[in-house]
């Protein structure tokens, strides 16, 4: 089999610069494709879009979680095929967002359990990382994951902040903690935390490209496509 392209994931908090950086990174490769999750253009993606943009749309936390995962499975075959055809695929969010946001909902509802304005109940599955990763097991695993992190104060100044369901300062603080808890940076050297505090777009682009080169994910590889697994 001929060498394949590589799968590079850009994760991070809302408005941390993921979409900006993933487009720039995609343009650096001559044969590449940018995929954004949630992909709001698919059947399942359109339900997710409604859920995110219309706060009156009610879904249980478990079903929302499964829809985000199902949305990734909608693109599974396309990702594998493109990698095998030598494309570099840049992902704007993926499995770690899936786990971190659901886990954050659990922590958030637990904190607000005594607040009568919050109607959702605390569902134990949403606090269980093993349950949360279940539906994603077997999806293609990124060759490199970059997690963009910055202070919450800087984040809330960025354009467009606050428009969607999860963009609340308190919730984002919990999301950040959840990401840092679930990203296995100690045992998995394909995951890198990128501190983007006080860095402009060009500076972040350089930081990212330096890591991509250092990890050798800018060239075709003979390695088989990895799968998301428990370890």
CA dihedral for 159, 164, 168, 172, sign (positive or negative): negative
Phi (first) and psi of residue 38, to 5 degrees: -65, 145
Considering only residues 80 to 139 of the shown chain, the ones binding ligand TMP according to CB under 6 A are: 93, 97-98, 101
CA 186 to centroid of chain Cα atoms:
19
Pick between residue 136 and residue 143 the one whose CB is nearest to ligand TMP.
136
Name the nearest CA neighbour of 144 among 179, 96, 196, 201.
Answer: 96
Describe the strand order of the beta sheet including 144-149 as a list of residue ranges. Answer: 32-36, 88-92, 7-12, 144-149, 191-195
Q: Which of 3, 4, 9, 19 binds Mg ion (CB under 5 A)?
A: 19
Pick between residue 4 and residue 65 the one whose CB is nearest to ligand TMP.
65
Q: Which of 122, 166, 211, 228 binds ligand TMP (CB under 6 A)?
A: 166
Q: Which of 5, 17, 38, 135 binds ligand TMP (CB under 6 A)?
A: 38
Other CB atoms within a 10 A radius of the CB of residue 223 amount to 9
Name the nearest CA neighbour of 106 among 187, 174, 55, 166.
Answer: 174
Least Å from the CB of residue 53 to ligand ADP: 15
Distance (Å, whole) CA 3 – CA 216:
14
* Per-residue contact string for residues 192-211; x = within reach of ligand ADP by CB under 6 A: ----x--xxx--x-------
Distance (Å, whole) CA 157 – CA 11:
19
Considering only residues 12 to 51 of the shown chain, the ones binding ligand ADP according to CB under 6 A are: 12, 14-20
Span interacting with Mg ion, options 14-22, 70-78, 133-141, 174-182, rule CB under 5 A: 14-22
Say which entry of Mg ion, ligand TMP, ligand ADP, none residue 93 contacts (CB below 5 to 8 A, set by partner kind).
ligand TMP
Least Å from the CB of residue 52 to ligand TMP: 5
Q: Which residues sit at the interface with ligand TMP, rule CB under 6 A? A: 14, 37-38, 52, 68, 93, 97-98, 101, 164, 166
């Amino acid at each position: 089999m001929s060498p394949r392209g590589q799968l590079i994931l850009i994760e991070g908090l809302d408005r941390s610069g993921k979409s900006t950086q993933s487009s720039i990174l995609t343009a650096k490769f001559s044969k590449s494709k940018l995929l954004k999750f949630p992909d709001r253009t698919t059947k399942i993606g359109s339900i997710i879009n409604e859920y995110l943009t219309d706060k009156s749309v009610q879904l249980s936390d478990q079903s929302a979680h499964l829809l985000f995962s199902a949305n990734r499975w909608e693109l599974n075959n396309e990702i594998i095929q493109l990698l095998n055809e030598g494309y570099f695929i840049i992902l704007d969010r993926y499995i770690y967002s899936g786990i971190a946001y659901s886990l954050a909902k659990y922590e958030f509802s637990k904190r607000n359990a005594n607040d009568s304005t919050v109607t959702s109940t605390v569902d134990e599955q949403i606090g269980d990382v093993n349950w949360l990763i279940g539906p994603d097991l077997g999806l293609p695993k990124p060759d490199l994951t970059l997690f963009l992190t910055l202070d919450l104060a800087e984040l809330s100044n960025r354009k467009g902040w606050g428009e969607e369901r999860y963009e609340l300062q308190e919730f984002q603080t919990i999301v950040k903690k959840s990401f840092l808890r679930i990203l296995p940076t100690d045992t998995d050297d394909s995951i890198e935390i990128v501190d983007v505090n006080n860095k402009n777009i060009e500076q972040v682009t350089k930081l990212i490209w330096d890591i991509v080169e250092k990890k050798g994910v800018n060239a075709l590889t003979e390695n088989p496509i990895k799968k998301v697994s428990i370890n």
